[in-house]
């Protein structure tokens, strides 16, 4: 069956009432973005509680479904047959034709599930269930009705048009990007931060990102890897402005002036400070990191306390309670894993101490940072001034 249309079902949680149109419009905008690069012509329309995608001419079905699967806010993608002629006999005829074409092997059980979106339609849902069921049974004697566990649940929706569908492909869930604020993701080349960004974008949040690199200690390839990861996340979240900050001088300065076992924590605090400044300059109202309690020395509760203390914007850490394997599973699902495990150097690992503190004391850390007073503000300002922005779409 070459489907010409799709019925898109979305979650309605928190979107009832006045704000519903905002949610629908954001969803349609994201669907258009996702379908932009798919071969074919797509027309998206809405009708109370439903969004339809109509195709014109040839199009790539698999690519279109994959694109829609990446749109947050969609719960089900249903390839369907839709027609305007609501004549009762026509509906029956179309239902039989649908079953014939979609299910060449007729040895199956089914149930008709009719719904009248338009309550003025002269036939009740129960009546449609019965009558459509009957014509299908008459046309295909091998088929049987099973009202409890049917192989095929045939939906017949009567609205301005009639929609018939039985396939329901799970969507990404969540909320459409653009229905919430914007946040700044601290994106490294690792496994965790792309997953963290994906998770927050899934809640409708628009995302920008910041990456700290340390040339010549970190290579051009390591930077390209982060650009690639941002592009992979952008397939779900929409375009990401990636701010690339040269962190080398700051790292060397900290290395020179502070105890080596505190290096990672102090570095992380400067990352948060710089990320916060860029966030404030670009309209982001939160930071996102890939931290998870206890994963490494810099992510113990004590370390997180010290990192958190360096900024005042809320820091969203969606992976905080996840085990590594759970994070890996998501990264595989969203296709970032293979890029994340490419073995390029990371600025955090280059200057890392042999025995980093695992229970840093905030007062001690603050005191160590006083050694930086002479130059650090100017260095931070310089790092922000000289940052490069890559548009990842
Ligand atoms: P990831 O897999 O995301 O790199 P990680 O397990 O390597 O995380 P850390 O290196 O301690 O953990 O980093 C913790 C978080 O700090 C990362 O998830 C990321 O949000 C941020 N971060 C670390 N290094 C960088 C960097 N070079 N640029 C931007 N953000 C970074
Ligand atoms: Mg890392």
Work out the average pLDDT over 249-274: 96
Ligand 1: nearest atom to the Cα of 191 = 2
**Quick one: pLDDT at residue 233?**
98
**Quick one: pLDDT at residue 48?**
76
Percentage of residues of the chain with pLDDT beyond 70: 98
The span from the CA of 145 to the CA of 239, in Å, is 48
pLDDT higher than 90, residue 54: yes
Work out the average pLDDT over 191-211: 98
| C-alpha distances in Å from residue 142, one per residue of 98, 136, 264, 373 | 16, 10, 69, 83
Q: Using pLDDT thresholds of 50, 70 and 90, give the confidence band for residue 227.
A: very high
The span from the CA of 255 to the CA of 191, in Å, is 26
| C-alpha distances in Å from residue 162, one per residue of 61, 81, 85, 130, 181 | 22, 8, 8, 17, 37
**Quick one: pLDDT at residue 11?**
81
Q: Are 165 and 78 in contact (CB under 8 A)?
A: yes
pLDDT higher than 70, residue 15: no
| Contact partners, residue 374, CB within 8 Å, separation at least 6 | none
Q: Are 222 and 346 in contact (CB under 8 A)?
A: yes
Ligand 1: nearest atom to the Cα of 299 = 11
**Quick one: pLDDT at residue 13?**
62
The ligand minimizing its distance to the Cα of 319 is: 1
Q: How many CA atoms lie within 13 A of 203 on its CB side?
A: 11
**Quick one: pLDDT at residue 152?**
98
Helices 324-333 and 192-201, axial angle in degrees (round to 10): 70
Nearest CA residue ID for atom 23, ligand 1: 188
Extract the runs of DSSP E, i.e. beta strands, from the chain. 5-10, 41-47, 50-56, 74-83, 109-116, 144-145, 152-158, 162-165, 169-170, 182-186, 206-213, 240-246, 287-288, 315-316, 388-392
**Quick one: pLDDT at residue 16?**
66
**Ligand 1 pocket test target in 185, 189, 190, 300 with most atoms within 8 Å of CB:** 190
> Considering only CA atoms, which of 94, 67, 89 is closest in space to residue 1?
94
Query: Which position has the higher pLDDT, 21 or 88?
Result: 88
**Quick one: pLDDT at residue 118?**
87
Which residues lie at CB < 5 A from ion ligand 2? 188, 190
The angle at the Cα of 329, spanning 79 to 290, to the nearest 5 degrees, equals 110
Kindly report, residue by residue over 136-159, the tens digit of the pLDDT: 999 999 999 999 999 999 999 999
Give residues (CB < 6 A) around ligand 1.
186-188, 190-193, 210-212, 271, 289-291, 295-296, 298-299, 347-348
Q: Which long-range contacts (CB under 8 A, 24 or more apart) does 297-301 make?
A: 297/264, 297/356, 297/357, 297/358, 298/264, 298/265, 298/268, 298/348, 298/356, 300/358, 300/359
Nearest CA residue ID for atom 20, ligand 1: 289
- Ligand 2 center–CA 345 separation, angstroms: 10
The span from the CA of 89 to the CA of 133, in Å, is 13
Work out the average pLDDT over 218-246: 96
The span from the CA of 266 to the CA of 272, in Å, is 10
Domains, the chain, with CATH or none? 5-170 (3.30.2130.30), 182-392 (3.40.50.620)
Work out the average pLDDT over 96-122: 96
Length of the chain: 393
**Quick one: pLDDT at residue 21?**
85
- Ligand 2 center–CA 346 separation, angstroms: 7
Burial of 188 (0-12, 13-18, 19+ CB in 10 A): buried
Nearest CA residue ID for atom 16, ligand 1: 289
**Quick one: pLDDT at residue 337?**
97
pLDDT higher than 80, residue 78: yes
**Ligand 1 pocket test target in 187, 213, 270, 290 with most atoms within 8 Å of CB:** 290
Query: Is the previous residue joined to 73 through a cis bond, with omega within 30 degrees of 0?
Result: no
Kindly report, residue by residue over 344-371, the tens digit of the pLDDT: 777 666 677 778 888 999 999 999 999 9
pLDDT higher than 70, residue 100: yes
**Quick one: pLDDT at residue 296?**
80
- Ligand 2 center–CA 236 separation, angstroms: 22
Nearest CA residue ID for atom 12, ligand 1: 291
**Quick one: pLDDT at residue 345?**
73
Work out the average pLDDT over 173-201: 96
**Ligand 1 pocket test target in 242, 317, 348 with most atoms within 8 Å of CB:** 348
The angle at the Cα of 161, spanning 157 to 165, to the nearest 5 degrees, equals 40
Q: How many CA atoms lie within 13 A of 285 on its CB side?
A: 5
- Ligand 1 center–CA 301 separation, angstroms: 16
**Quick one: pLDDT at residue 281?**
98
Work out the average pLDDT over 171-178: 95
Kindly report, residue by residue over 273-316, the tens digit of the pLDDT: 999 999 999 999 999 999 999 888 788 999 999 999 999 999 99
Q: For 149, which DSSP code?
A: S
**Quick one: pLDDT at residue 204?**
96
**Ligand 1 pocket test target in 185, 186, 198, 279 with most atoms within 8 Å of CB:** 186
Q: Using pLDDT thresholds of 50, 70 and 90, give the confidence band for residue 22.
A: confident
């Amino acid at each position: 069956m070459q489907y010409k249309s799709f019925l898109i079902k979305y979650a309605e949680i928190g979107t009832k009432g006045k704000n519903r149109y905002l949610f629908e419009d954001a969803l349609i905008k994201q669907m258009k973005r996702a379908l932009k690069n798919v071969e074919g012509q797509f027309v998206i329309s809405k009708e109370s509680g439903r969004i339809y995608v109509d195709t014109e001419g040839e199009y790539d079905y698999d690519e279109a479904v994959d694109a829609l699967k990446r749109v947050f806010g969609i719960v089900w993608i249903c390839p369907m047959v839709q027609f305007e002629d609501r004549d009762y006999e026509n509906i029956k005829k179309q239902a039989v034709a649908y079953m014939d074409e979609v299910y060449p092997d007729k040895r199956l059980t089914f149930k008709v599930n009719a719904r009248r979106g338009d309550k003025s339609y002269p036939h009740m849902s129960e009546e449609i269930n019965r009558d459509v069921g009957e014509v299908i049974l008459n046309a295909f004697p091998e088929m049987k009705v099973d009202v409890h566990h049917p192989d095929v649940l045939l939906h017949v929706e009567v609205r301005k048009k009639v929609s018939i569908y039985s396939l329901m492909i799970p969507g990404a869930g969540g909320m459409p990007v653009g229905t919430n604020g914007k946040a700044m993701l601290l994106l490294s080349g690792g496994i965790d931060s792309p997953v963290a960004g994906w998770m927050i974008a899934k809640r409708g949040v628009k995302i920008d990102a910041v990456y700290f690199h340390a040339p010549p200690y970190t290579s051009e390839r390591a930077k390209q890897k982060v650009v690639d990861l941002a592009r992979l996340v952008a397939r779900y979240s929409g375009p990401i402005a990636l701010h690339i900050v040269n962190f080398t001088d700051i790292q060397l300065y900290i290395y020179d002036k502070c105890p080596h076992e505190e290096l990672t924590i102090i570095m992380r605090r400067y990352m948060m400070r710089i990320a916060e400044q860029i966030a404030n300059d670009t309209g982001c109202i939160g930071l996102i990191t890939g931290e998870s309690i206890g994963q490494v020395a810099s992510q113990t509760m004590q370390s997180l306390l010290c990192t958190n203390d360096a900024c005042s914007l809320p820091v969203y850490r969606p992976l905080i309670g996840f085990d590594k394997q759970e994070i890996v599973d998501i990264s595989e699902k969203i296709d970032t894993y293979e890029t994340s495990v490419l073995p390029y150097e990371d600025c955090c690992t280059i200057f890392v101490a042999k025995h980093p503190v695992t229970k840093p004391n905030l007062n001690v850390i603050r005191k160590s940072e006083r050694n930086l007073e002479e130059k650090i503000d100017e260095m931070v300002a310089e790092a922000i001034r000289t940052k490069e922005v890559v548009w990842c779409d």
